[in-house]
Structure 1
Amino acid sequence: MNPIRLPASPGATAVLIVGAGPTGLATALLMDRFGIPFMVVERNAGLTDHPRARGTWVRTMELFRQWGIERAVKARGLPDDANGFAFVESITGHEYGRVPREIDFGQTPAWKCTVSQDVVEDELYRVVRQSRLGRVCFDTEFLRYEETADGVVAFTRDTRTGEETKRPALYLVAADGAGSGLRRQMDIAMTGPASLAIMNNDYWQGDLSHVPSVRQVGVFRILPGDPGVSQASVLNTNGADRWLTVTKVGDGSDVTPPQRSDAEVVRLARAHSGVPNLDVKIINRSVWRVSKQVAARYSRGRVFLVGDAAHRFPPTGGYGMNTGIQDAHNLAWKLALVLRGQAGEALLDTYDTERRPIGQANADFSHGNTVRFMKLEEAFRSRNLQAINFWIKDVVHHSHSIGLGLGFSYDDGAIVPDGTAPRGLTLGRYDPSDRPGGRFPHLWLDLARQRSTLDLFDRDFVIVHGPRSADWKAAARDVCERLDVPIRTHELESVDARDGLDMGLYGAVLVRPDGHVAWRMPWVPEEPAASLASAMEHTLRRQGAATLRRAA
């Protein structure tokens, strides 16, 4: 493994990350796991104290399990049975209907968690701040960057002293949010509507722990009978006394949204709760615009967009933060291999190829959920109970989305397509598959159900093969020696197509460090080492690598 050659300047690092939100911190955590020096710059004095996004879905929780923070995140979220919707006149009032929680069918070792963004940031930061390879610099505003022949130079300013600093790096990651100044400097346009609506977030404290439903419901959709009370979504953040009320206050075309007084926020909190004399304390408030936008490209030169800097979704569906963390997971291993000289720089181009279509698909899904709520509001205004019941039942497609969360697949990029047809997605059902581009299926590897196949995929490529396949251990050793890229092997005791393993008893798949299948070989090839080498060269975008031939 080649050492990473940093720029010969004081304070140089391999990867400079702008923004210490969940995506930026996830990128930093992954750089540490791959042994890559990094620095995070964040203009704020610390982490957010506002819930913002809420909900970490299955694939994200699988990553948190791998990173050692799953239990800590779950301990600070709602119970597993409190993630559904309830449609009510008020939290303590009449209930029109409820969408039950999504059922865990055992296709993952880690189930989703209804938890707020501030908790996620806190737990990610607990890991990142212990790193010996990098650090997070708060009160540090990113100003601009210049690209050089072998890297970038970022210019930052200390918000306390005004002092400016030059920070050399090999690569730059823009995790600076929806209003990304770095994206604007990259001259990358966003496609799609920038402002669909203007929303208020009112985060308040009020003890409703005596209400049984607050231990069962993740979101109360308030459909009040009083025309003087606005419709809203009240998000349950801790199952007791902290609530986030999300209300539409203006159309997307409004330049300046109407401002509510604190007294009005308290009045609405009491009306939405159905407790007229509830003791309400406002914690904080924010105003934001609903957008449905995806960047025209996810990178330029040595700079990469991740998270909200790359895509802005309506909040309906909860895919914004989750998509961003998975952006980081896709980019990290590619940066690590390129920095070590184990892959060609063209591998980094596959970040855009793979993640931008996923960003667009998740944007479309989120916007579809917004339209569904608009239809529900129309039905309620008409007081048509049949229409209300129809749209409440249809919300199941909003909250039951494991098919989208686990079943997404890369059709092009750092994979070797095998010519088989894509299976498509069903939102509420996940169909596991070992087809190139998809997440390798989860199977328990021990009777205690502690070790999953997903635990095999972290920092290295892995050949997973059946019990009657070729000698992939020997092939992997041969390819490792010649390409200087670690490849581990794992033999499955049984291979069943019902688990999504179409490689069969004689076949094998090559799985990338991010758990996605790069290559599938459902039979024993004539020259296993040569076949594996060819797949690795294609995946890593290596040019001029020697073709392996089996010894005579």
Structure 2
Amino acid sequence: MSNSSQHQVLIVGAGPTGLMLAIELTLLSLSVRIIDRAAETKRQVRACVIWSRAQEALAELGVIDKFLARSHKMHNFDVYAKGKQLSGFEFGHIKSDYPFPMTIEQHDTERFLAESLSDLGVEVEWETEAIGVRTHDDGAEVTVRAANGTEETIETHWLVGCEGSRSPIREAAQIPFEGEPALNLQAVQVNAKPTWRFPKSTSQGYFFLGEQVSIMSIPVPGDTYRFFTFTTDPSPERKTPPSLAEMRDLTAAVSYMPELQLELSEPVWLSRARFQNRIAATLNKGRVLLVGDAAHSWAPIGGHGMNTGLRGAYNLGWKLAAVECGEAKSCLLDTYTIEQRANAQTIVDANRMNIVEQPPSATKLRLMQTFMPFGLSLQPVKRLMEFTLSDLGMEYRNSPLSQQQKGSGSLHAGDRLPNVPVVSGDGQWANLHRSISIHHWTLLLRTKDSQVIERAYQIVGQYRSTIKVTTIQPMDRDSDRQLGRDGQMLLVRPDAHVGFIGAVNDYNSLVKYLDTFLVRL
């Protein structure tokens, strides 16, 4: 027996990225269905770190509070080699409302997102599988089968594949998944309660470096540590998970702690994994879109896989809603592919150069022992590493959506807007991100000229998209430096990235930019 229904967006895959996209689209008033062939949210812990930029996105969607209540904040990392501490590293110095990396297990991440989506009136349809896809110019028809065998044809304006690296939606759309395997690299993991020489802490993590192996140990909720080991892969045919004894012996040897003991925690997580470094040739083809691991996949060095997927969903949501609602032209949606593929390639390239987590050779290990203590003693090096890890530096400068008429100091079109304190036109001060929302663009004017301000209101009122006008003045010298020159305008996208930079009286350039992407009334 079958029936049919119609929705604006059908999301296939209820992992973190699919759930986050569903929340954003629902907040932006689109009708959404989300299905997953699994029976429920995962019991597997998997990804366990959420960096600052993804936390900002979760906060903008109004779902961060549950995460903060359940997670730990990572304050410090110490790096050891052959039993000796090489250096220490501190977090918390970046300008964000969420300056510390968050540790939380993926099954909790998915549960909280599913609960938040349910609060908005949308339930995940579990045990429901897409078994047939037909696309056309105006949308797609997807045949789905429920657990009881009932089949339904869903007519949707947009079909989004969020179902992982083996995405059937990507295959149905005939989108190549370009790249290659990550050779001679495996990750073995365990969640366990350690008995060791270190004091118990929910905010202190460790790196242990050895020849051809690196081990990261971080506290996660539940009085537990994640032991995440990258090592060479002499037996790629071996598929079974590591045993607890294997993980204990490996960790004890690399950390030079023969007395180390590990006790498995619940849910049990013992994993052996190999990886592919792949990026889809395009992330939007007609009415089919790809997000998360369906769009890009790599070895989890640096812990940016899920984070890149969450940021991708955040990037896509407001663009898809604007095009679907007739507020923006289709070329706006094309920028999702350009921006997200570039970010994904940046991560893949950075992983190859990661000197801490890539299993070091004997020569490389000796060099790290010699130079790392000095390098990480330098504050500029530490701050750059923290900024890079936070994802706050992930930018879209080469996107068609990023345009500027003149230089603006350290701030460029495509950058995340600095979250610095400013005084608005009504004399109130607040961190700048308080002015930003997924529900509107924001035109920031660094001027008090009433005629300029009035003209800005006239211009933005000609478009279907809501564009909020705000005058600002930096609170201090650092804020002034980060925002560029006085007398400029910054047009900020709904996802808090700067789209356009120009002089406050350069109306023609602003109008040309808006006409490229947005629809007039």
TM-score, normalising length from structure 1? Answer: 0.80
From 89, 94, 101, the equivalent of 1:100 is 89
In the alignment, what sits opposite 1:462? 442
Counting aligned pairs with the same residue, the percent is 23
In the alignment, what sits opposite 1:502? 484
Tell me by how many angstroms 1:332 deviates. Answer: 1.0
1:465-504 correspondence to structure 2 within 5 Å: 465-469=445-449, 471=451, 474-494=454-474, 498-504=480-486
1:77 and 2:71 correspond: yes
In the alignment, what sits opposite 2:236? 254
Q: Secondary structure at the match of 2:156?
A: strand
Q: Secondary structure at the match of 1:46?
A: coil
Cα gap change, 1:265 to 1:48, in 2 (>3 Å): same
In structure 1, give the amino acid aligned to 2:270. Answer: R
Structure 2 distance, partners of 1:482, 1:374, is 56
* RMSD of aligned residue pairs (Cα, Å): 3.5
Single out whichever of 341-350 and 463-472 deviates more from structure 2: 463-472
From 403, 411, 420, the equivalent of 1:417 is 403
1:525-544 correspondence to structure 2 within 5 Å: 525=506, 528=507, 531-540=509-518, 542=519
1:124 and 2:113 correspond: yes
Cα gap change, 1:263 to 1:519, in 2 (>3 Å): closer
Q: Secondary structure at the match of 1:468?
A: coil
From 173, 188, 210, the equivalent of 1:186 is 173
In the alignment, what sits opposite 1:168? 155
Single out whichever of 161-170 and 13-22 deviates more from structure 2: 161-170
TM-score, normalising length from structure 2? Answer: 0.85
From 2, 5, 11, the equivalent of 1:17 is 11
From 437, 440, 445, the equivalent of 2:414 is 437
From 52, 57, 79, the equivalent of 1:86 is 79
Structure 2 distance, partners of 1:236, 1:104, is 21
Q: Secondary structure at the match of 2:392?
A: helix
Q: Secondary structure at the match of 1:141?
A: strand
Where does structure 2 lack aligned partners over 5 or more consecutive residues? none
In structure 1, give the amino acid aligned to 2:327. Answer: Q
1:60-459 correspondence to structure 2 within 5 Å: 60-82=54-76, 84-87=77-80, 94-105=83-94, 107-116=95-104, 117-132=106-121, 134-158=122-146, 160-197=147-184, 199-206=186-193, 208=195, 211-212=198-199, 214-221=201-208, 223=210, 232-238=215-221, 240-248=223-231, 250=233, 254-257=236-239, 260-261=242-243, 264-265=246-247, 274-275=258-259, 278-280=262-264, 283-369=268-354, 373-375=358-360, 378-380=363-365, 384=366, 387-391=368-372, 400-403=385-388, 405-415=391-401, 417-420=403-406, 433=411, 435-445=412-422, 451-458=430-437, 459=439
Q: Secondary structure at the match of 1:292?
A: strand
1:313-339 CA-partner distances (Å, limit 9, x unpaired) = 221212211111111111111111111
Cα gap change, 1:438 to 1:399, in 2 (>3 Å): closer
In the alignment, what sits opposite 1:3? none
Structure 1 distance, partners of 2:483, 2:364, is 45
Between Structure 1 and Structure 2, the one with more strand by share is 2
Cα gap change, 1:262 to 1:520, in 2 (>3 Å): closer
Tell me by how many angstroms 1:499 deviates. Answer: 3.2
Where does structure 1 lack aligned partners over 5 or more consecutive residues? 1-8, 424-430, 547-552
Single out whichever of 304-313 and 489-498 deviates more from structure 2: 489-498
Q: Secondary structure at the match of 1:135?
A: coil
Number of residue pairs aligned between Structure 1 and Structure 2? 504
In the alignment, what sits opposite 1:427? none
Tell me by how many angstroms 1:438 deviates. Answer: 1.6
1:517 and 2:521 correspond: no
In structure 1, give the amino acid aligned to 2:419. Answer: H
Partners of 2:392 and 2:416 within 8 A in 1: yes
Partners of 1:188 and 1:296 within 8 A in 2: yes
Cα gap change, 1:12 to 1:378, in 2 (>3 Å): farther
1:435-473 CA-partner distances (Å, limit 9, x unpaired) = 3222222122479x9942112221101111123346455
Tell me by how many angstroms 1:361 deviates. Answer: 0.9
Cα gap change, 1:47 to 1:246, in 2 (>3 Å): farther
